[in-house]
Amino acid sequence: MTNQKEKIVALYVRVSTGYQVDKDSLPFQKKELKAYCEHVLHVDKKRIEVFEDAGKSGKNTKRPAFERMMGKVKAGKVSHVVVYKIDRITRNLVDFSLMYDDFKYNNVTFISLNEQFDTSSAIGEAILKIILVFAELERKLTSERVTDVMIGRAQSGQWNGARVPYGWDWDAENKCPVHSKKEAPYAKAMYQMYLDGGSSVTIRDYNNSHNIPTKRGGEWTSKTVADFLRNPINKGAYRYNYRESARGKRKADEEVIYMEGVFPPLIDPEIWNEVNRRMDANHTRKNTSAMHPIRKNCNVFAGLIVCGKCGSNYQVTAKDRRRGNGFRPSSYACTGKYQKKHCDNLNVSDVKIGPFMINYIAAIIDASKSRRFIKDTESLERVILSHIDFTDVAGISESSLQDTIDLLYGRSGAETLSGKPVSKDGKNTDTTEKKKELQEKLQKTDRALERLKKAYLFDDDAMDEKEFLEMKTKLEVNKVKLENSIKSLDSSSISENVDQAAFIKSASQFLISHKINSGGNIEYSELAMMDEEAMKTLMNSIIDHITVMDRHITEIVFKNGLTHTLLYR
Instruction: Tell me the catalytic residues.
Output: 16
Give the separation between CA 545 and CA 417, rounded to whole angstroms: 16
pLDDT tens-digit map of 501-560 = 455 555 544 554 444 444 556 677 766 666 677 778 778 888 889 999 988 898 999 887
The maximal CA–CA distance of the chain, rounded, in angstroms, is 119
DSSP 313: B
CATH architecture of residue range(s) 168-286:
Alpha-Beta Complex (3.90)
Q: How many CB atoms lie within 10 A of CB 81?
A: 26
Q: Are 356 and 566 in contact (CB under 8 A)?
A: no
pTM value > 0.75: no
Of 299 and 190, which is predicted with more confidence?
A: 190
Does pLDDT of 418 surpass 70? no
Q: How many CB atoms lie within 10 A of CB 258?
A: 14
Q: Are 517 and 523 in contact (CB under 8 A)?
A: no
| Sign of the alpha-carbon dihedral angle for 328, 333, 339, 342 | negative
Give the separation between CA 127 and CA 122, rounded to whole angstroms: 9
Q: Which of 530, 529, 525 is CA-nearest to residue 513?
A: 530
Q: Indicate the residue type of 558.
A: F
Give pLDDT, residue 172.
83
CATH fold label, 4-140: Rossmann fold (3.40.50)
Q: Which of 360, 563, 560 is CA-nearest to residue 474?
A: 563
Q: Which of 72, 111, 122, 121 is CA-nearest to residue 88?
A: 111
Q: Show Cβ contacts of residue 336 under 8 Å, excluding neighbours closer than 6 positions.
A: 307, 309, 310, 312, 342, 343, 345
pLDDT tens-digit map of 58-67 = 666 788 999 9
Give pLDDT, residue 2.
65
Q: How many CB atoms lie within 10 A of CB 292?
A: 9
pLDDT tens-digit map of 274-302 = 999 998 887 766 554 443 333 456 788 88
Does pLDDT of 484 surpass 60? yes
Exposure of 4 by Cβ count < 10 A (0-12 exposed, 13-18 middle, 19+ buried)? exposed
Question: What is the SS3 assignment for 273?
Answer: helix
- By residue count, the chain amounts to 569
Write the DSSP string, 113-171: TTTTEETTSHHHHHHHHHHHHHHHHHHHHHHHHHHHHHHHHHHTT---SPPP-TTEEEE
Cα 233 to its chain centre, rounded Å, is 27
